[in-house]
Amino acid sequence: MNTALKKIIQHWGYLSPYARVPHNDAEYEKLLNFAENLMEVSRHVKKDERVTSLLKLVARNIEEYEAHRFPEKNMSPIDVLEFLMEEHGLGQSDLPEIGGQSLVSKILSGERKLTVEHIQKLSKRFGVSSSVFIEGKSSIFFR
């Protein structure tokens, strides 16, 4: 066995959790954190193809997991929010990213719309693309 192949196999245990599609939310969160760290590294190094290609691989794996995380096609932003609330066992009063229970109720009933600030905060909290909270955009993430 050649030396390069030995090194690859030797280091595969460290790389493999980041080189595959996550199987659960814990692995997904770990991959998101890794992607954030890679983006930070990429900001401080001159164009390094190794960092760029690893970031592309990780991003593809994140997208793949997100694409299969939601069961329905063409979900509205409210459908997505309700799904995430149910998945995480949250009630209307458990979303300080939006505001109080009254405002959350109005948003869920369609009386009010999510603001850009709401979308950014919800995206960060649930670890999903902000696109899933934008009308007409969420279907690209669901199969």
The tens digit of pLDDT for each residue in 123-136 reads 889 888 888 888 76
* pLDDT value at residue 73: 59
Q: Which fold has domain 77-141?
A: 434 Repressor (Amino-terminal Domain) (1.10.260)
Q: What are the pLDDT digits (tens) for 4-30?
A: 888 888 888 888 888 999 988 889 889
- Mean pLDDT for the chain overall: 85
Return the ∠ at Cα 35 (arms to 11 and 128), rounded to 5°.
135
Q: Which of 132, 142, 125, 121 is nearest to 80 (CA)?
A: 132
Evaluate the CA torsion angle 128, 131, 136, 139 in order and state its sign: negative
Instruction: Indicate the SS3 state at residue 120.
Output: helix
Q: Do residues 31 and 22 make contact, with C-beta atoms less than 8 angstroms apart? A: yes
Residue 58's pLDDT band (boundaries 50, 70, 90)?
A: very high
Residue % of the chain over a pLDDT of 90 = 30
Domain boundaries for CATH 1.10.260.40 within the chain: 77-141
Q: What is the mean pLDDT of residues 45-66?
A: 86
Helices (H), 24-109: 25-44, 49-69, 77-87, 101-109
> Which pair of tokens denotes residue 56?
């592309």
